[in-house]
Structure 1
């Protein structure tokens, strides 16, 4: 059974007192006796009541609020997703409050708790890379709080989600590398439990299998999505006895860490090491050499996630999965054969 969020009215009805009495008791007013204050506070805790400091002003004069949780707000991708969410929300009379989890599950949980306390109308979220416990989202379901995931998702049978076709894009990118002269293609990913990582790694492996290229486990590197760590792992691969001659990189952080590692060893791109990155960053066209990129339509993803959330807020309980196609832009960093011409 769905359980809606407890209100002051619910507490008042349970105790057979007025809403004003409950409100005063929760605020510790001297106008309410000690015994009643204890009863109200104990019931509020038992019912998981969250005070709503915005509710009165919102009901009278302001727009409603959507909470958004992103893992890393300083990246171009997440900033673009948030921009798409804000554009769509504004058109429909909603404000957007964003929280940066900094890739921390603990901060993600705290952000969700804060949004519940604020009584936001709904939440859009992308999982932090170390989130493997989804109980805070299961609590949102129990409280019947509208929720939509994007990019890194969980509980797909319960909540709508917006994702990209990363498996198809990774397959096409890997095939391009093989078709243009690369032979030992490495995959630089992220934590293996993340669905986005699984999809992109699957596409990469399928392209190798189809081409009859043996899969070398040493070339499949999945770890923390962090610049310094990825750079070090790339350097280790490139300095090994049997290094890769091409790299497919998971996202913008991983891509530029790998790019920097290649450059630091004075290797030539793409002659020595070709590279393709999953990145939304417009800078891909301006690095030297220009970077072949698989690009999310981040703004479209954000707008779509907001559209699904507003549907849910308005009563549509269908669980949707929207797949936004990625765009593959071939530039100079990936084609070894072009450099031979």
Structure 2
């Protein structure tokens, strides 16, 4: 059950003092003695009291606000997800506040803290690639604050999630590359601990097994989601003795890193190296050659995530797992001539 948030009145009653005294103590006012300040702060921490910055301006109207945490707001995918969230939320009178973790666990934790302090009604989140400790989300669960994850998720027994069928999409894309004549297909992925990476890599490997192609570990690179790092890793692969003749890339950042690496090495796309990337951006149709892409339907993922969150805010405690199918859009970069 959702726990009621601790108020100034609760602290005052516990200590047997006035609300004004508690408020002054928390503001370090000279009107309150040091001993009382210490008592108030210890109790506030124990009862997980958070000040509400909207309290004075919105005394008569409770704000309807949800928080959204994304790893990289400047990418087309996350911008599209946020657009879907805002679209759906506005239909039900909710405002959206977004926070960019910049792929940092520390900044993700800070975003959660800020949202708690702002008394948001619920949170939609996608994990930063650095996040392996989920304590800040366990805290939200204990406080009864609704959370829905999308794309990169955790704690599936506790929180609803919206994901794509990345495994099936990767298997379909790899099979397409094989059918188009590729035999040494590389996978350029993100950190192995991310469930999103695991699903897509699994689909890639399943396609190789299905077509009786050997699995070469040297063709699988999983590292940081960083353009320069992925580009350098791809260049090394392409300059190796047994270079790949095709690449499947995990997301838009790694896709364009690999695309640039192929060009840098003076190789032809798709005749020397074919490429398919997971990307929802319009730019895939404007590069040369036009990029075969696995489309995320990011906007729909955002709408679904918001729909589930509003259900939880209204009291629905069922744990949902929604799967939004991806779409393989075949263009010029994947079929050898």
TM-score, normalised via structure 1 length: 0.95
Aligned counterpart, 2:131 = 131
Q: Deviations over 1:218-247 (max 9, x none)?
A: 011111110000000000000000000000
Aligned counterpart, 2:171 = 171
For structure 1, the 5+ residue unaligned runs are: none
Say if 1:69 and 1:100, in contact at 8 Å, map to a contact too.
yes
Alignment length, in residue pairs? 337
Aligned counterpart, 2:258 = 258
Say if 1:5 and 1:144, in contact at 8 Å, map to a contact too.
no
Structural mapping, 1:286-305, within 5 Å: 286-305=286-305
Structural mapping, 1:326-337, within 5 Å: 326-336=326-336
Pairwise CA distance, 1:30: 5.1
Aligned counterpart, 1:40 = 40
TM-score, normalised via structure 2 length: 0.96
Say if 2:2 and 2:145, in contact at 8 Å, map to a contact too.
no
Say if 1:177 and 1:335, in contact at 8 Å, map to a contact too.
yes
Say if 1:246 and 1:274, in contact at 8 Å, map to a contact too.
yes
Q: Deviations over 1:23-80 (max 9, x none)?
A: 2332344555554433322211222211111134345246421111110011000011
Aligned counterpart, 1:110 = 110
Report the Cα distance in structure 1 between the residues aligned to 2:95 and 2:2, rounded to whole angstroms: 26
Say if 1:58 and 1:64, in contact at 8 Å, map to a contact too.
no
Report the Cα distance in structure 1 between the residues aligned to 2:21 and 2:284, rounded to whole angstroms: 61
The structure-2 alpha-carbon separation of the partners of 1:62 and 1:47, relative to structure 1 and needing over 3 Å to count, comes to closer
Pairwise CA distance, 1:5: 2.9
Report the Cα distance in structure 2 between the residues aligned to 1:74 and 1:234, rounded to whole angstroms: 23
Aligned counterpart, 1:247 = 247
Say if 2:187 and 2:219, in contact at 8 Å, map to a contact too.
yes
Pairwise CA distance, 1:116: 1.0
Moved over 6 A (4+): none
Aligned counterpart, 2:141 = 141
Report the Cα distance in structure 1 between the residues aligned to 2:172 and 2:198, rounded to whole angstroms: 16
Report the Cα distance in structure 2 between the residues aligned to 1:287 and 1:7, rounded to whole angstroms: 56
The structure-2 alpha-carbon separation of the partners of 1:92 and 1:281, relative to structure 1 and needing over 3 Å to count, comes to same
Q: Deviations over 1:133-183 (max 9, x none)?
A: 101111111111111111000000000111000000000000000011011
Report the Cα distance in structure 1 between the residues aligned to 2:214 and 2:120, rounded to whole angstroms: 51
Report the Cα distance in structure 2 between the residues aligned to 1:251 and 1:225, rounded to whole angstroms: 9
Report the Cα distance in structure 1 between the residues aligned to 2:59 and 2:175, rounded to whole angstroms: 55
Report the Cα distance in structure 1 between the residues aligned to 2:315 and 2:218, rounded to whole angstroms: 49
Report the Cα distance in structure 2 between the residues aligned to 1:282 and 1:9, rounded to whole angstroms: 53
Q: Deviations over 1:214-273 (max 9, x none)?
A: 100001111111000000000000000000000000000000000000011121111000
Structural mapping, 1:4-43, within 5 Å: 4-29=4-29, 32=32, 34-43=34-43
Aligned counterpart, 1:224 = 224
Q: Deviations over 1:119-143 (max 9, x none)?
A: 1111111000010010111111111
The structure-2 alpha-carbon separation of the partners of 1:58 and 1:305, relative to structure 1 and needing over 3 Å to count, comes to farther
Pairwise CA distance, 1:333: 0.4
Report the Cα distance in structure 1 between the residues aligned to 2:59 and 2:163, rounded to whole angstroms: 34
Q: Deviations over 1:84-137 (max 9, x none)?
A: 111111111111111111111011111111111111111111000010010111
Report the Cα distance in structure 2 between the residues aligned to 1:253 and 1:155, rounded to whole angstroms: 26
